[in-house]
A = this chain, B = another copy of it.
Amino acid sequence: MNRTERLLNLLQILRSYRYPVSGERLAERLGVSIRTLYRDIATLQAMGAEIEGEVGVGYILKPTFFLPPLMFTQTEMQALLLGMRWASQFGDAPLSKAATEVLNKIVDVLPASIKNAINAFALRVGPPGPESLAKEDLSVLRDAIADQKKIDIVYKSEEGKESRWTVWPFTIGYFTDGRILVAWCENQKDYRHFKTQGIISLKVLDECYSPSKDNLFREWQALQLRKHLMKRS
């Protein structure tokens, strides 16, 4: 057995005990000498595992969860981040705090080059409604956002009017009554929201838009804030 493997193993074993367990026993189960076990424990502790050793008693692992290395696809990572954002917004206080912690831990280990792109993931979270229309497939849209591609859409408004726009998509909001695409509209030279259910057809153009999605997002956010304040005063 590999040393790395053995370390993971040791954590699993430790967790399976509810009462303290002696180093000797652990060493035996791992098939290594007691000396090596001490070294392994030290390594895990250095890695952040909360293992407590009490003299004359044994080792006990604080109830923490250890996630071994995992690979995720881009979409899976999006789901992960989105889910955490949701939990941090809608959980009760400690859960929300925990979700934020998780988000931080994950973002921390993501390479800098991707951290920026996370805003692009900018799948925003809003309170979803009673009925979820999970059948939509927004992956085309998400990809377009990730690549900062312009898109052509045919949109049917709630009044039933159809219209056609070329827009720069930069975020999707997950809201009560479905999902909302937020984009800069080339035709109207303004930010616009489109309910995704109203998007009848969508074509990704082979043309990138120029201010980055992050900048668009920031500007749009600032605008929203201003509107909000004006409404209040």
Tell me the smallest distance from the CB of A197 to a CB of chain B, in Å.
Answer: 11
- Chain B residues with CB under 8 Å of A109's CB are 67-68, 70
Binds B, one of A29-37, A126-134, A151-159, A209-217: A126-134
Q: Which of B4, B67, B71, B88 makes the CB contact (< 8 A) with A106?
A: B67
Distance, CA A77 to CA B83, complexed state (A): 12
Distance, CA A75 to CA B86, complexed state (A): 15
Given A127-B128, A137-B94, answer yes or no on A72-B77 (Cβ-Cβ < 8 Å). Answer: no
Within 8 A of B (CB), among A66-102: 66-80, 82-99, 101-102
Interface residues on A, range: 35 or more
- CB pair A15 B114 closer than 8 Å: yes
- Chain B residues with CB under 8 Å of A114's CB are 15, 65
Q: List 8 A-B contacts (CB under 8 A).
A: A50-B71, A79-B91, A79-B95, A79-B102, A80-B84, A82-B83, A94-B137, A127-B127
Interface residues of A (CB under 8 A from B): 4, 12, 15-16, 47-50, 63-80, 82-99, 101-102, 105-106, 109-111, 113-114, 123, 127-132, 134-139, 174, 176, 179, 196
By Cβ-Cβ distance, the 8 closest A-B pairs, closest first, are: A83-B83, A79-B99, A83-B87, A75-B98, A79-B98, A92-B136, A76-B98, A65-B77
